[in-house]
């Protein structure tokens, strides 16, 4: 008996990881050392960054619900931000990639206040990070925010080059592998976390400052929404205040008084019945998708469907928190807030630009379907065929389109912008640096620059 107990005690697993201790989601670890769920995990905190220690609480859950959460009612951006904060704990059990939202808008419109509200779900006001302070210790901070929220204020304060790198690494969910002192590879830190960011311009525009182009993958991981166009800046319902600034100041105070209780309560409910919770989450996501499809003229491109799914998960997190009595909000408040978020994202993408992008893909698809076998030399074939008016080459499911043929296909349109659209839709594999065309593979004589189009474009629809 005794030996058995000792063996069981010996089975303690130390973890340096905060949030979900592993992919099985049996235990959730807080920077304070608190563990919810499987008590076999013990947090080894010696190298934890400061952010971890700020994941602490003040006041009761009821205090938070009746002050911070109550102020969110009628304020879709605040409901959205809080729902996103809860969603951080859902990524791992739902097996989805992490990501989040960038609130873009002029200064003094309440963006940072919205970030503070989201932060109060998990910790103290100091759990709010700044882009600037984070660019150095980003990996540590992101790992500390695993399973919860990384809130990054003021993108404008950091170097444009840095912004791109930081966003890329955050979105990837993985740090750099490094050699340890003994020379063996130390595994890279990994995280799945909600990201909530603020700034006066979008990530894409920020990166343009440094001559970089953001990749579609980055943009869809950090969905850009205009956050200063609500009734009063970022706010709609000032809760009996006549002045938005006074409302902002009151919320800031509330979020600094009651915090760090809602996130842990959410995790407790999740752990109580994970299967049921994820099943309900999927139901919320499905109904969100159905409502969104009815409400908006959604295109079937990959970016849009990923964004819809992301907003759906945020809605689901908020609805679960409401169903579990954590927020005190009306049912569907989180779904409606996520619909507002999706609408803002769609508006920001620009209706016309969206259509142009779709048209570029349709032109290309039509051309390849019509001339795929007549105007493209097949590099897989053993005997070369003579091709009249060759537009390019093909191998497997890839098409290499010569630049002059590209110009012809997109006659009447800006060919470079068309290439960007096709790349953003995920069908063009761009070259290094800012080149959208790349050197042809060695099998093609002279290796001219070509646009490399991936086969799935033939299945891309205009339904
Ligand atoms: N919607 C608003 N309209 C007018 N003033 C505001 C608004 N929101 C906040 N403020 C004022 O601006 C200050 C900064 O708020 P903050 O949330 O940090 O704005 P932002 O991050 O958009 O610059 C607040 O202390 C408040 O005085
Ligand atoms: Mg601010």
| Sheet of 194-199, strands arranged across | 129-130, 149-153, 194-199, 99-104, 222-226
CATH of residue 287's domain is 3.40.50
Structure confidence at residue 338 as a pLDDT band (50, 70, 90) = very high
Structure confidence at residue 51 as a pLDDT band (50, 70, 90) = confident
Structure confidence at residue 8 as a pLDDT band (50, 70, 90) = very low
How far from the centroid of its chain's Cα atoms is residue 73's Cα?
Answer: 24
Ligand 1: atom nearest CA of 106 is 22
pLDDT score recorded for residue 352: 38
Give the distance (Å) from ligand 2 centre to CA of residue 102.
12
User: What would the mean pLDDT of 138-160 be, rounded to a whole number?
Assistant: 89
Burial of 300 (0-12, 13-18, 19+ CB in 10 A): exposed
Q: Characterize the bridge pairing of strands 392-395 and 376-378.
A: parallel
Claim to verify: residue 337 and residue 357 sit in the same structural domain:
no
Claim to verify: residue 175 and residue 99 sit in the same structural domain:
yes
pLDDT score recorded for residue 355: 62
Q: If you ran DSSP here, which 8-state letter would residue 233 be given?
A: B
Structure confidence at residue 328 as a pLDDT band (50, 70, 90) = very high
Structure confidence at residue 142 as a pLDDT band (50, 70, 90) = confident
* Mean of per-residue pLDDT scores for the chain: 87
Claim to verify: residue 393 and residue 406 sit in the same structural domain:
yes
Measured between alpha carbons, how far is 363 from 400 in angstroms, rounded to an integer? 16
pLDDT score recorded for residue 373: 84
End of a domain among 329, 349, 369?
349
What is the CA angle 292-293-296, rounded to 5? 75
pLDDT score recorded for residue 382: 66
Measured between alpha carbons, how far is 302 from 154 in angstroms, rounded to an integer? 29
Structure confidence at residue 462 as a pLDDT band (50, 70, 90) = very low
What is the CA angle 437-223-167, rounded to 5? 65
User: What would the mean pLDDT of 94-100 be, rounded to a whole number?
Assistant: 92
Give the distance (Å) from ligand 2 centre to CA of residue 44.
34
Token pair of 59, please? Answer: 């006041």
Most confident of 13-22, 79-88, 304-313, 360-369: 79-88
Claim to verify: residue 95 and residue 138 sit in the same structural domain:
yes
User: What would the mean pLDDT of 59-65 be, rounded to a whole number?
Assistant: 98
Measured between alpha carbons, how far is 355 from 291 in angstroms, rounded to an integer? 22
CB of 102 shorter than 6 A to ligand 1: no
pLDDT score recorded for residue 460: 55
Measured between alpha carbons, how far is 240 from 67 in angstroms, rounded to an integer? 14
Residue 247: partners with Cβ closer than 8 Å, 6 or more residues away: 71, 232, 235, 238, 239, 241
pLDDT score recorded for residue 353: 53
Which residues are paired to 41 by β-bridges? 13
pLDDT at 28 over 80: yes
Token pair of 429, please? Answer: 């594999």
Range of the domain at 26: 2-49
pLDDT at 19 over 70: yes
pLDDT score recorded for residue 283: 98
User: What would the mean pLDDT of 432-455 be, rounded to a whole number?
Assistant: 87
pLDDT score recorded for residue 214: 67
Ligand 1: atom nearest CA of 114 is 17
Q: Using a pLDDT cut of 90, give the percent of the chain over it.
A: 55
pLDDT score recorded for residue 17: 78
Contact 104, 226 (CB under 8 A): yes
Q: If you ran DSSP here, which 8-state letter would residue 437 be given?
A: S
Strand locations in 268-405 (E): 376-378, 392-395, 398-402
Claim to verify: residue 18 and residue 73 sit in the same structural domain:
no
Give the distance (Å) from ligand 2 centre to CA of residue 88.
22
Give the distance (Å) from ligand 1 centre to CA of residue 81.
16
User: What would the mean pLDDT of 150-169 be, rounded to a whole number?
Assistant: 86
- pLDDT tens-digit series, residues 179-188: 666 767 767 7
Better-predicted residue by pLDDT, 11 or 52: 52
Claim to verify: residue 236 and residue 384 sit in the same structural domain:
no
End of a domain among 318, 334, 349?
349
Token pair of 323, please? Answer: 């169903």
Q: What are phi and psi of 201, to 5 degrees?
A: -130, 170
Ligand 1: atom nearest CA of 249 is 25
Claim to verify: residue 130 and residue 74 sit in the same structural domain:
yes
pLDDT at 21 over 50: yes
- Ligand positioned closest to the Cα atom of 235: 1
pLDDT score recorded for residue 4: 37
* Total domains present in the chain: 3
pLDDT score recorded for residue 463: 40
**Four-CA torsion 308, 310, 316, 318, nearest 10 degrees:** -110
pLDDT score recorded for residue 20: 94
pLDDT at 461 over 60: no
Measured between alpha carbons, how far is 36 from 430 in angstroms, rounded to an integer? 45
Ligand 1: atom nearest CA of 154 is 21
Which residue, 402, 421, 306, is CA-closest to 363?
Answer: 421
Claim to verify: residue 322 and residue 374 sit in the same structural domain:
no
User: What would the mean pLDDT of 246-266 be, rounded to a whole number?
Assistant: 98
Q: Which of 76, 105, 106, 110 to mutate to test the pocket of ligand 1 (most atoms within 8 A of CB)?
A: 110
Q: Between the CA of residue 135 and those of 19, 162, 197, 210, what are the distances in Å?
A: 21, 7, 14, 16
Claim to verify: residue 32 and residue 141 sit in the same structural domain:
no
Claim to verify: residue 444 and residue 343 sit in the same structural domain:
no
Q: What are phi and psi of 461, to 5 degrees?
A: -110, 165
End of a domain among 349, 379, 408?
349
CB of 249 shorter than 6 A to ligand 1: yes
Token pair of 357, please? Answer: 């992008």
Claim to verify: residue 345 and residue 377 sit in the same structural domain:
no
Which residue, 84, 96, 209, 211, is CA-closest to 157?
Answer: 209
Token pair of 295, please? Answer: 């409400």
User: What would the mean pLDDT of 162-168 be, rounded to a whole number?
Assistant: 82
User: What would the mean pLDDT of 96-114 be, rounded to a whole number?
Assistant: 94
Q: Which of 7-16, 67-76, 115-124, 366-375 has the lowest mean pLDDT?
A: 7-16
Q: Which of 8-12, 47-51, 165-169, 244-248 has the lowest mean pLDDT?
A: 8-12
Structure confidence at residue 22 as a pLDDT band (50, 70, 90) = confident
Q: Which of 102, 109, 153, 156 to mutate to test the pocket of ligand 1 (most atoms within 8 A of CB)?
A: 109
Measured between alpha carbons, how far is 169 from 395 in angstroms, rounded to an integer? 33
Contact 398, 452 (CB under 8 A): yes
Better-predicted residue by pLDDT, 226 or 161: 226
CB of 112 shorter than 6 A to ligand 1: yes
pLDDT score recorded for residue 258: 98
- DSSP string over 329-365: PPTTHHHHHHHHHHHHHHHHH-HHHHHHHHHHHHHHH
Contact 217, 167 (CB under 8 A): no
Give the distance (Å) from ligand 2 centre to CA of residue 77.
15
pLDDT score recorded for residue 215: 66
User: What would the mean pLDDT of 19-35 be, rounded to a whole number?
Assistant: 90
Contact 221, 99 (CB under 8 A): yes
Claim to verify: residue 226 and residue 301 sit in the same structural domain:
yes
């Amino acid at each position: 008996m005794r030996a058995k107990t000792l063996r069981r005690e010996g089975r303690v697993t130390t973890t340096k990881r905060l949030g979900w201790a592993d992919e099985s989601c049996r235990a959730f670890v807080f920077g304070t050392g608190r563990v919810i769920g499987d008590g076999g995990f013990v947090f080894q905190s010696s190298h934890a960054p400061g952010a971890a220690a700020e994941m602490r609480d003040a006041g009761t859950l009821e205090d938070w619900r009746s002050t911070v959460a109550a102020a969110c009612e009628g304020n879709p951006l605040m409901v959205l931000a809080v729902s996103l904060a809860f969603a951080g704990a859902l990524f791992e059990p739902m097996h989805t990639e992490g990501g989040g939202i960038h609130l873009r808008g002029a200064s003094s419109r309440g963006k940072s206040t919205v970030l503070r509200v989201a932060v109060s779900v998990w910790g103290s006001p100091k759990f709010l990070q700044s882009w600037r302070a984070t660019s150095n210790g980003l990996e540590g901070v992101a790992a500390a925010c695993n399973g919860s929220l990384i809130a990054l204020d003021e993108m404008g304060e950091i170097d444009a080059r840095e912004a791109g790198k930081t966003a890329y690494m955050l979105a990837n969910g993985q740090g750099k592998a490094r050699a340890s002192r003994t020379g063996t590879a130390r595994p890279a830190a990994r995280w799945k976390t909600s990201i909530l960011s603020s700034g006066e311009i979008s990530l894409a525009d920020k990166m343009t400052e440094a001559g970089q182009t953001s990749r579609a993958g980055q943009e869809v991981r950090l969905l850009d929404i205009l956050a200063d166009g609500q009734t009063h800046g970022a706010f709609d319902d000032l809760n009996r205040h006549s002045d938005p600034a006074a409302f902002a100041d009151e919320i800031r105070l509330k979020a600094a008084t009651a915090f760090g209780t809602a996130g842990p309560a959410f995790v407790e409910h999740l752990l109580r019945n994970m299967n049921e919770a994820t099943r309900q989450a999927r139901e919320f996501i499905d109904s969100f998708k159905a409502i969104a499809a009815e409400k908006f003229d959604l295109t079937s491109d990959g970016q849009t469907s990923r964004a819809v799914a992301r907003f759906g998960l945020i809605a689901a997190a908020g609805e679960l928190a409401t169903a579990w009595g954590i927020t005190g909000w009306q049912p569907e408040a989180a779904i409606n807030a996520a619909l507002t978020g999706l609408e803002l994202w769609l508006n920001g993408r620009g209706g016309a630009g969206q259509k142009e992008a779709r048209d570029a893909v349709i032109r290309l698809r039509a051309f390849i379907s019509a001339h795929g076998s007549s105007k493209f030399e097949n590099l897989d074939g053993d005997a070369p065929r003579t091709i009249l008016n060759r537009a390019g080459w093909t191998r497997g499911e890839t098409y290499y389109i010569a630049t002059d043929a590209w110009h012809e296909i997109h006659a009447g349109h800006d060919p470079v912008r068309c290439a960007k659209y096709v790349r953003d839709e995920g069908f063009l594999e761009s070259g290094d640096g800012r080149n959208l065309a790349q050197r042809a593979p060695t099998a093609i004589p002279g290796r001219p620059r070509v646009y490399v189009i991936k086969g799935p474009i033939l299945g891309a629809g205009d339904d």
